[in-house]
Amino acid sequence: MLPLMRSLSGLFAIVVMCLFLVPISAPLAMAGEESSVDELPWWETTNMDKDRDQIHDAVWMAVAGMSGGDWVDDDGRIGVIVDFDHTPTEEDEVLLENSIDFIVQWRYHLIDSIAGKVAVDHLFELTEIEGVVLVELDGRLEVQMEDVVPYHGVDTVWEETGYTGTGSVVAIIDTGIDSDHAGLDDLDDNNETDDPKVIAFYDPVNTPALTNGTEVKAYDDQGHGTHCAGITAGTGAPEMVHVGVAPQAQLVGVKVLDSGGSGSFATVMAGMEWTVEKKHVFNIRAASMSLGGPGAIEWTSSEEESVNRMGNRMMAEGIALFIAAGNSAGPGTIGTPGSAEDVITVGSLDKNGAIAPYSSEGPTEENRVKPNIAFIGSDVMAPDFNTGTGYTAKSGTSMATPGAAGLAALMYQANPDISPFDVRNIMQETSIYRQCHYMLANQPCAEDLIPKNRQNNVYGHGETRSPESVAEAANYVYGLDMGMNISLISEPTLDNKIHVSPGEGIDYSLTGDPVEVQWRTWDMRDTWMDLVGHDLGDEEATITHTMLVDRLQELPDVEIEGNHTILLRSLRGPNASANMVTHIHVMGSEPIQDIVEETSSTVFALSAIIVLMSTIIGGLLIILMRNSNYEEIPFEDDNEDVAPTSVTLTDIDFKAKFDTKISSLSENLKSTEAAYSKMTVQELKSILSERNMSTSGRKADLVQRLLDE
C-alpha cells in the first residue's frame, strides 16, 4: 500500500503544482463558511489547547523535555497529529510536505487527521496551513501491566452458557500474538486439521505496507499481546487448565506496540483504522486494547485527543472496543484512550471481586464517570509467549480488558444482531453494582450515599456478570429454548470446515419441532432469513450452495469463494434454539462466476496501468525533488541555555514564544505536584512500583521522583 500511496501522492504533487498556475479561489469559499454560534467546533474548546494557539499544550511540555525526554529526534523533529477541519486528502499531505518539509507517516479517514514529524521551529507555521485546526502531540501508549504474581489454580472461565465464542472474531491491538503457542495455534487442538485461531495479522510497527492481513505470520516479540489473546480466546491446550473466556473464538492480531511494549498514537491509530477497514473481510466484532499513556503528559488527556476520537469512531463503525482503565491507582487517573466517551473502559478486580489497588479511577478530565465495567484482572494465568506450551500469571487492567472482550465474543454468538452499544449497555445493566468501599478495598466516595446509584468512578457499573450478559443478549428478541436442538450432519474436512461446491449443501438435523428455521451469515450487514421450504415436523435442513452465493453476492467487499461462518436457529412461538454456528468454505461462486472473473480481470488490468503510470510519474517527481535546491535545516548546537529544554532553538522569534509557553507550563507542573502531594504514600508507591521505580524514601522523595520522571 505504501509504495502505491507514495506514487499516488507524487501524482497529486504534480496536480498541486499545476494548481499553483491558476488563481486560488479557495480562501474566498472558506470565508463564506460560518461556524454555528451555539456550538463551536471541538478544537476551539478543547482542554488540550488552553491557551488557544492551535497547538496541544502537551507539545510544549514534550519539547521542554518534561515527562521523559526523547520527544524530539536528532533532526529536531517531533511527532505530531495534525487535525484538519475536513477529511485530509493527498493534496493536504503534499501541501504539508512541500510547505514546511513535514514528514507524513499516516493519513487517516476515520478521523480528520494526518500523523507525521515536523521540525520544532516549524510548529507555528504548521498551524497557518489552510485547513489545519490543531496540532496534537503524537503521544505514547504502552502495555498496562502490573507485577507478575505466580498463581496456580482455577482460571476465569465463565460458567455454562452453551456458547464458546464460535464464529466470533476479536482483534487484539497490542504487541502481537504468538500464534505457535498450543493454546492459540488452532481451534480444535488437533494437529491433523488446519484450522488456525489467528486468522489475520497486521504489523504497522515493522511492516506497515503489508496490509491485507495474511501476508505476515503472527508473532509477538514482547509477550503482553499473547497473554491478552489467551485470556480472550485461548483453548487452554495442552493441559486445558487455563482456558480463555471464549475458547472457540478466532483472533486477529494487530501489532501496534514494539518489542519494548510501547508505541506512538500514530501507529496505534493506524492499527485501529486497519481493524475497521477489515471488519467485513475477517468479521471483526470486538477489539481489546490494553494500553495507556505513561507519565504526566498523558494525564493531561482530553476527550478530543486523536486516539479517543478514533476509539469512538470504532464503536460507531460496529466494533465493540474494550480499553484498559490503566494501573495508575487513585482518583482521576484514567487517561487516553480509556477516557474516550463511547468505548467500554474496563477496571480490574482481584480474585475476591474487590477492586484491585492498582486499577485506575475516574473521573476523566471532562468529569465523566469511568470506568464502564470491572472484570477479573489479577493473577490471571494465560499463554507465555515463545514457550510453546507455557502459561504465566499476570495482573493488571490489561488482563481484565481482554476478558471482557471475550465475553463480548460469547454475546455475539448468542446474538449477532447486537451493536457495540448494546454490548456495552447489556454488560453495564447486568453487572452487580459495588460501592466504592466494597470489601474495604477503597475509600468510601460521595456516590456511596446515593440510593440505587448505578455507576461510580471505582467500579464503574460494577462486577461484570458473564451468564447474565449472554442471556440478556440471547433474549433480545426471542427467549432461549434448549428443547430445540440443531446438529451438523455434514462432515468437516481437514481444515475443520464444511466445504460446499456448486450443487451441494450443508446438512443439519433438527429436534424439538421448530415451526420456522432461520439462517444468516456472520457479516454484520446480514440479517436472519427464513429457510424457505421448511415444514413443521421436518427433521433435517440444508443450506445450499445457491443460497450462499445469492446471499454473499449482496455483501460488498466480500469474496464469495473462501471461508465464511454461518448461523442457523430454530424458532417456535416466542422462543429460539441456541444458534448453531458453522465454519464453511465456499468452493466456486457460480452462477455468477464468469461475470466476476471478467470484471476483476478488467479492474486488474486497469489498476496495473494506473500503478505503472503513477510509479513512473512518482519516480520522476522524486528525481526532480532530489535535484532541486532542497535545503536541509540542521538543528544547530549553539549552547545557549533555554529553560529545561531538550533541543536548542535557533529561531529567536520562536524562542521568545517558546519561553513564554514554558513558564506557563511550569505553573501546570506545580499543580501536578499538588496533585501528587494530595495522594497517600501507598498510592504514590503503587504508581512508582508500576513504573519500576524505587518506592523507598519519605513522601516528599516519592513526589519528587515522580515529578523528575
- Smallest separation (angstroms) from Ca ion to the CB of 244: 12
Check if 530 is active-site.
no
Considering only the stretches 179-187, 201-209, 451-459, 599-607, report the one whose residues sit in contact with Ca ion under the rule CB under 5 A: 179-187
Contact residue for Ca ion among 3, 26, 30, 51 (CB under 5 A):
51
| Catalytic choice (224, 461, 534, 564) | 224
**Residue 495 binding Ca ion, by CB under 5 A:** no
Residues 53-82 that bind Ca ion (CB under 5 A): 53, 55, 57
Task: Tell me which residue has its CB nearest to Ca ion.
Answer: 186
CB atoms within 10 A of CB 320: 29
Residues near 347 by Cβ (< 8 Å), separated by ≥ 6?
Answer: 325, 355, 356, 359, 360, 361, 371, 373, 374, 375, 377, 397, 400, 458, 459, 460
**Residue 186 binding Ca ion, by CB under 5 A:** yes
- Smallest separation (angstroms) from Ca ion to the CB of 91: 26
Considering only the stretches 43-51, 109-117, 251-259, 428-436, report the one whose residues sit in contact with Ca ion under the rule CB under 5 A: 43-51
Pair 242, 314: CB distance under 8 Å: no
In angstroms, the CA 297 to CA 300 distance is 6
DSSP 3-state assignment of 443?
coil
Question: Which is closer to Ca ion, CB of 57 or CB of 361?
Answer: 57
In angstroms, the CA 189 to CA 195 distance is 9
In angstroms, the CA 507 to CA 514 distance is 16
**Residue 190 binding Ca ion, by CB under 5 A:** yes
**Residue 193 binding Ca ion, by CB under 5 A:** yes
Question: Which is closer to Ca ion, CB of 668 or CB of 695?
Answer: 668
In angstroms, the CA 106 to CA 104 distance is 6
**Residue 178 binding Ca ion, by CB under 5 A:** no
Contact residue for Ca ion among 121, 138, 195, 342 (CB under 5 A):
195
DSSP 176: B
| Catalytic choice (398, 431, 466, 570) | 398
In angstroms, the CA 78 to CA 74 distance is 10
Contact residue for Ca ion among 73, 91, 97, 188 (CB under 5 A):
188
**Residue 305 binding Ca ion, by CB under 5 A:** no
In angstroms, the CA 567 to CA 511 distance is 16
**Residue 386 binding Ca ion, by CB under 5 A:** no
| Catalytic choice (53, 83, 155, 174) | 174
In angstroms, the CA 251 to CA 218 distance is 10
**Residue 673 binding Ca ion, by CB under 5 A:** no
**Residue 239 binding Ca ion, by CB under 5 A:** no
Check if 224 is active-site.
yes
Pair 286, 322: CB distance under 8 Å: yes
Considering only the stretches 128-136, 201-209, 233-241, 380-388, report the one whose residues sit in contact with Ca ion under the rule CB under 5 A: 233-241
Question: Which is closer to Ca ion, CB of 188 or CB of 341?
Answer: 188
Question: Which is closer to Ca ion, CB of 55 or CB of 216?
Answer: 55
CB atoms within 10 A of CB 454: 14
Query: Strand (E) positions, 164-214?
Result: 169-174, 198-202
**Residue 417 binding Ca ion, by CB under 5 A:** no
# binding residues, Ca ion (CB under 5 A): 14
Number of separate helices (H) and strands (E) present in the chain: 18, 26
The residues annotated with a catalytic role in the active site are 174, 224, 398
Binding positions for Ca ion, rule: CB under 5 A = 49, 51, 53, 55, 57, 182, 185-186, 188-190, 193, 195, 237
